[in-house]
Amino acid sequence: MNTERVIGVDLGGTKILAGVIEDGRVLQTVEHPTPTTSQDALFDGLAAAVLELPLDGVEAVGFGIPSRFDYRTGFALGAVNIPLREVDFVAEMSKRLDLPIGVENDASCAAYAEHVHGAGQGTSYFGTLTLGTGVGGGIIFAGKLFHAWTELGHMVIVADGVPCQGACAGRGHLEAYCSGTAATRVAQEAIGPDATARDLIEQHHPALETIGHYLGIGIGSLVNIFGLERMAIGGGFGIAAFEQLLPAARRAVLREVLGDGGRDLQIERAQLGEAAGLIGAGLVAREVL
């Protein structure tokens, strides 16, 4: 592996995490609250975070953004919690930084990092699903990051099902059944108004079997579309509930996937935790060199 030094930036709804990265090792980071007053303030804040880091030897900057990203045009198409809407992200950052700019959706960044440095190593067809506040995901296709919206959490798994979360007007999406937020809703119905997803896990509650089933339905469709060899489950809820979700998820995968694909699919925990987004943004930076 080459030893390019890059900067990765993980843009979240509440914080900007930027770091100098070399060969997947994070050498130094800075963290700032995400400016949300205007789009210009957001871009200025991103540039300021990068410029606070030592730039000597840095060859490119990669951004993981919580937005659909159009790889053809460089446009960020819209984010839920931050002021990014139909804007040429690459051009805006190029005005502020004299370095090559790479951009990718944040969940795709995390999948990319898991493929190169974590749970996806050694595979060519690999997917991640991150079960947290929402559900995110990314796909490695033929050994390369699949550059698309990959809003895997907004895949329909139940026709006309329960309403999705946040700004999504859809129904029956994976996110509405398998996110930590959805699990907390289930906990409140099953246990009581103060219960959370964590109570389901601590009580080994049978409702987790239902959530695991829905997860497996979603995974099954992804395997049928992409021919995945391995799927990694991450996110706060996904990691904590992994063992309890897995049996029902596995049964659903066996039922839904064509041929022997379900039996052959490996389902594992993601390995990189919250660092995945930052490390993946660094990998995206390397792509523009």
- Residues 102, 284 contacting (CB under 8 angstroms): yes
Among 117, 154, 185, 286, binds Zn ion (CB under 5 A): 154
Among 74, 100, 170, 227, binds Zn ion (CB under 5 A): 170
Of the two residues 42 and 183, which places its CB atom closer to Zn ion in the complex? 183
> Residue 86 CB, nearest distance to Zn ion (Å)?
20
Contact status: 133 vs Zn ion (CB under 5 A): no
Q: Where are the beta strands (DSSP E) in the chain?
A: 5-11, 15-22, 25-33, 58-65, 67-70, 75-79, 87-88, 101-105, 126-131, 135-141, 144-145, 230-234, 266-269
Q: State whether residue 31 is helix, strand or coil.
A: strand
How far is residue 80's CA from residue 176's CA, in Å, rounded to a whole number? 16
How big is the site for Zn ion, counted in residues (CB under 5 A)? 5
Of the two residues 154 and 286, which places its CB atom closer to Zn ion in the complex? 154
Among 168, 190, 191, 239, binds Zn ion (CB under 5 A): 168
Binding window for Zn ion (CB under 5 A); candidates: 7-15, 60-68, 132-140, 171-179: 171-179
Q: Classify residue 185 by its DSSP letter.
A: H
Among 173, 185, 213, 286, binds Zn ion (CB under 5 A): 173
> Residue 158 CB, nearest distance to Zn ion (Å)?
12
Alpha helices by DSSP H, listed for 118-192, are 175-178, 180-190
Binding window for Zn ion (CB under 5 A); candidates: 101-109, 168-176, 195-203, 269-277: 168-176
> Residue 11 CB, nearest distance to Zn ion (Å)?
21
How far is residue 158's CA from residue 82's CA, in Å, rounded to a whole number? 29
Contact status: 164 vs Zn ion (CB under 5 A): yes
Of the two residues 102 and 138, which places its CB atom closer to Zn ion in the complex? 138
CB neighbours of residue 121 within 10 Å: 12
> Residue 190 CB, nearest distance to Zn ion (Å)?
23
Binding window for Zn ion (CB under 5 A); candidates: 64-72, 92-100, 164-172, 239-247: 164-172
Count CA within 13 A, CB hemisphere, residue 272.
26
How far is residue 76's CA from residue 243's CA, in Å, rounded to a whole number? 36
Contact status: 205 vs Zn ion (CB under 5 A): no
Q: What are the CA-CA distances from residue 32 to residues 15, 42, 80, 101, 259 (Å)?
A: 6, 11, 19, 20, 49
Q: Classify residue 14 by its DSSP letter.
A: S
Residue numbers at the binding site for Zn ion (CB under 5 A): 154, 164, 168, 170, 173
